[in-house]
């Protein structure tokens, strides 16, 4: 049995689905269901006794303690977080609360549980904290990619809150001996990605005939990894990672944003041409940049490859094609997550961005 937090969000849900596709080890899934959490994503697990969903907050130490005591998991994998940079700029409070205070309460509950374990159960227990490359800050064009020893230079309220959580996790290992592992991953994309993030937003807007809002000059670089490759990396680190160690996860796929948008347009031109026969790229609009926008992220994942033998299965070409096809095939899922709260966010974020 493992306890997964944030398992109704984009990466957490992909992780739970992949885990149960490959193993019969049950999962307790603790998720408070913010706007980003969606039980529809987990619909195929309805009635599956290997999946126990609990709606609740990682900051609710009493609830976490009850779950740990009742189910006695051998591991905790922490995905729960506020994750969208633009939202952290408009309102940092929730990011401080969940990513810092919530992680602290989770750590306290896990520490008490682990301290009381004995023998093999205590030896084998792990807590894996899922983090981001954004904690390392921004790279110039010719700097080498982030390694695990790159200094922390977070630039947004989101990345600062994730950096703080990483430090807490590290401190719980050094101070109390808590058996932790941390992964810092680059930008993910794939099925069930909430359409506030670049790739799903562009696909969804393109199909709806809306503008494709590119921030600033569109030359910011991100390093993209197909979500299922992130999930396989987490499984591998959980299985064989050295205690207290940090592992960077990435796909060696650095791309400027504008190239990503053109790739999506070209795939849609092929798979679902516009009725008027003109290209989707006609919908691209340059808008006001994100404040403090990090210019470039790049992950050096060679430690994970060298020490644990992990490699991504998808190239960017295969992954992005699968992703565009998935959105074409799952427009009901998209419609379902585009609630009133989603419409409100889109209006708020993009009204201030003039073309």
Q: Which residues are marked as active site?
A: 133-134, 158
Rule CB under 6 A: say whether 137 interacts with ligand DAU.
no
Nearest residue relative to ligand NAD (C-beta): 9
Find how far residue 70's CA is from the centre of its chain. Answer: 28
Rule CB under 6 A: say whether 222 interacts with ligand DAU.
yes
Q: How far is the CB of 230 from ligand NAD (least distance, A)?
A: 7
Half-sphere exposure of 63 (CA within 13 A, CB side): 15
Rule CB under 6 A: say whether 156 interacts with ligand NAD.
no
Nearer to ligand DAU (CB atom), residue 106 or residue 221: 221
Binding mask 294-313 for ligand DAU (x = CB under 6 A): ---x----------------
Q: How far is the CB of 355 from ligand NAD (least distance, A)?
A: 26
The interface with ligand NAD within residues 242-301 (CB under 6 A) comprises none
Rule CB under 6 A: say whether 78 interacts with ligand DAU.
no
Written as six digits, the tokens of 38 are: 């969606």
Q: Report the partner that residue 165 touches, choosing among ligand DAU, ligand NAD, none (CB closer than 5 to 8 A by kind).
A: none
Q: Report the partner that residue 85 touches, choosing among ligand DAU, ligand NAD, none (CB closer than 5 to 8 A by kind).
A: ligand DAU
Rule CB under 6 A: say whether 80 interacts with ligand NAD.
yes
Q: Report the partner that residue 79 touches, choosing among ligand NAD, ligand DAU, none (CB closer than 5 to 8 A by kind).
A: ligand NAD
Nearest to 237 by CA among 285, 301, 280, 162: 301
For residue 1, what are the contacts with CB-CB under 8 A and spacing of at least 6?
A: 25, 26, 27, 28, 71, 72, 73, 74
Rule CB under 6 A: say whether 102 interacts with ligand NAD.
yes
Nearest to 187 by CA among 26, 299, 354: 299
For residue 123, what are the contacts with CB-CB under 8 A and spacing of at least 6?
A: none
Q: How far is the CB of 222 from ligand DAU (least distance, A)?
A: 5
Nearer to ligand NAD (CB atom), residue 229 or residue 280: 229
Binding mask 129-148 for ligand NAD (x = CB under 6 A): -x-x----------------
The interface with ligand DAU within residues 172-191 (CB under 6 A) comprises 186-187
Rule CB under 6 A: say whether 223 interacts with ligand NAD.
no
Rule CB under 6 A: say whether 198 interacts with ligand DAU.
yes
Q: Report the partner that residue 179 touches, choosing among ligand NAD, ligand DAU, none (CB closer than 5 to 8 A by kind).
A: none
Give a three-class secondary structure readout of the chain: CEEEECCCCHHHHHHHHHHHHHCCCCEEEEECCCCCCCHHHHHHHCCCCCEEEEECCCCCHHHHHHHHHHHCCCEEEECCCCCCHHHHHHCCHHHHHHHHHHHHHHHHHHHHHHHHCCHHHHHHCEEEEEEEHHHHCCCCCCCCCECCCCCCCCCCHHHHHHHHHHHHHHHHHHHHCCCEEEEEECEEECCCCCCCCHHHHHHHHHHCCCCEEEECCCCCEEEEEEHHHHHHHHHHHHHHCCCCCEEEECCCCEEEHHHHHHHHHHHHHHHCCCCCCCCHHHHEEEECCCCCCCCECCECCHHHHHHHCCCCCCCHHHHHHHHHHHHHHCHHHHHHHCCHHHHHHHHHHHHCCCC
Instruction: Considering only the stretches 9-17, 64-72, 262-270, 273-281, report the one whose residues sit in contact with ligand NAD under the rule CB under 6 A.
Output: 9-17
Q: Report the partner that residue 214 touches, choosing among ligand DAU, ligand NAD, none (CB closer than 5 to 8 A by kind).
A: ligand DAU
Q: Report the partner that residue 8 touches, choosing among ligand NAD, ligand DAU, none (CB closer than 5 to 8 A by kind).
A: ligand NAD
Question: Which residues are at the interface with ligand DAU (CB under 6 A)?
Answer: 83-85, 132-134, 186-187, 197-198, 201, 213-215, 220, 222, 257, 290, 297
Residues that bind ligand NAD (CB under 6 A): 5-6, 8-12, 30-34, 36-37, 57-59, 79-83, 98, 102, 130, 132, 162, 185, 187-188, 194
């Amino acid at each position: 049995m493992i306890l997964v937090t944030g398992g109704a969000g984009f990466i957490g849900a992909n992780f739970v689905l992949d885990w149960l596709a490959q193993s019969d080890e049950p999962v307790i899934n603790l998720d408070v269901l913010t706007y980003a959490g969606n039980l529809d994503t987990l619909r195929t697990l309805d009635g599956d006794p290997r999946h126990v969903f609990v709606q609740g907050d990682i900051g609710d130490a009493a609830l976490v303690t009850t779950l740990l005591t009742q189910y006695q998991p051998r591991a905790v994998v922490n995905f729960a977080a506020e994750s969208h940079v633009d939202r952290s700029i408009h309102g940092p409070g929730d990011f401080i609360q969940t990513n810092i205070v919530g992680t602290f309460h989770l750590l306290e509950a896990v520490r008490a549980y682990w301290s009381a374990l004995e023998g093999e159960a205590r030896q084998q227990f792990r807590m894996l904290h899922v983090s981001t490359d954004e904690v390392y800050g921004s790279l110039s064009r010719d700097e080498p990619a982030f390694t695990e020893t790159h200094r922390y230079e977070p630039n947004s309220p989101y990345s600062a809150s994730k950096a703080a959580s990483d430090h807490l996790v590290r401190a719980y290992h050094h101070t109390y001996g808590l058996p932790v592992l941390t992964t810092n991953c680059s930008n993910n994309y794939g099925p069930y990605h909430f359409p506030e993030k670049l790739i799903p937003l562009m696909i969804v807007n393109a199909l709806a005939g809306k503008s494709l809002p590119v921030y600033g000059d569109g030359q910011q670089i991100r390093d993209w990894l197909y979500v299922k490759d992130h999930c396989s990396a987490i499984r591998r680190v959980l299985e064989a990672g050295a205690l207290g160690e940090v592992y960077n996860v990435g796909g060696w796929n650095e791309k400027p944003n504008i190239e990503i948008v053109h790739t999506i347009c070209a795939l849609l031109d092929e798979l679902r041409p516009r009725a008027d026969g003109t290209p989707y790229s006609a919908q691209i609009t340059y808008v006001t940049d994100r404040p403090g926008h990090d210019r470039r992220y790049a992950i050096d994942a060679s430690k994970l490859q060298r020490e644990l033998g992990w490699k991504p299965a998808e190239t960017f070409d295969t992954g992005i094609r699968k992703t565009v096809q998935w959105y074409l095939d799952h427009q009901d899922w998209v419609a379902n997550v585009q609630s009133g709260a989603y419409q409100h966010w889109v209006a708020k974020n993009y009204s201030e961005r003039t073309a």
